[in-house]
Amino acid sequence: MKLMRRFCYALLLGGLTATAVLAQSADETALQTADGPLALHPVEHASFVMHWNGHTIYVDPVGAAQQYDGLGAPDLVLITHAHGDHLSPDTLAALDTQNAIVVMPQSVADKLDTEYGKSRLIMANDDSVDELGLNIHAVPMYNLPESPDAYHPKGWGNGYVLTLGGKRVYIAGDTEGVAETRSLENIDLAFLCMNLPYTMDVEQAADTVLDFKPAIVYPYHYRGQDTEQFKARVEAGDADIDVRLRNWYPG
């Protein structure tokens, strides 16, 4: 059964998204904060870069290091979990992380036999820490129903809520519409995963968003899913939620 699920996942990673999305050629302002704009640069699939208050934040950097050319060396690297589309030791080794704080769950630390960055910060679900003028709170990400042999068991990986400049940013990692996500409050900006068979389909993702009602949501990690349908479902349920479609699959 697990072999079949892995095969299905490989097919999805090799496929094309079912919808047209807006392409981006440069950073865009994703959010205004009290300490200046938060700029966003999608890279690919689950990887993206944010710039805020003079700091550069990498999220799940994988793939060719050239994809990050011109984006600046990271001050903070957030890694959600140890799957290869979220964690790449080769990419970390190729990037300039010498001044970075690298944040990860224990499952990632167990996979790394080399120290990356100037410091390594291991966080469990519900841990919080202040770094670089922002707060990082680790939140659960997992599959339903809960199971120790699920592809993403509870406690194995982290989503993150960042509080910066008086705003709250949620990065889902790989999760389904779990209670901890649906009960989030005062989220100004959310990055929500959406692909089968390992996270959510369009319907569950939209239903989850309508529960926690972020002001802005970017679907990412969405290969094989119809993001236009997701946008339509969310807007039909709450027209005040700003659904932004961007291209996480430039190749």
Is the residue at 31 inside a domain? yes
pLDDT band at 21 (very low <50, low <70, confident <90, very high): very low
pLDDT band at 2 (very low <50, low <70, confident <90, very high): very low
* Pairwise CA distance, residues 175 & 144, whole Å: 9
Tokens found for residue 237: 């349920």
Is the residue at 81 inside a domain? yes
Is the residue at 220 inside a domain? yes
In this prediction, residue 181 carries a pLDDT of 98
Check which CATH number belongs to the domain holding 100 and give it.
3.60.15.10
Does residue 20 have a pLDDT over 50?
no
Is the residue at 249 inside a domain? no
Is the residue at 216 inside a domain? yes
In this prediction, residue 189 carries a pLDDT of 98
Q: How many domains does the chain have?
A: 1
Bridge-partner residues for 38, per DSSP? 31, 52
In this prediction, residue 153 carries a pLDDT of 93
Is the residue at 176 inside a domain? yes
The domain of 231 spans: 27-243
pLDDT band at 26 (very low <50, low <70, confident <90, very high): low
Whether the CB-CB separation of 199 and 174 falls below 8 Å is answered with yes
| Cα 72 off chain centre by | 19
Using DSSP's 3-state secondary structure scheme, residue 27 falls into: coil
Is the residue at 173 inside a domain? yes
Say what the pTM is: 0.89
Is the residue at 222 inside a domain? yes
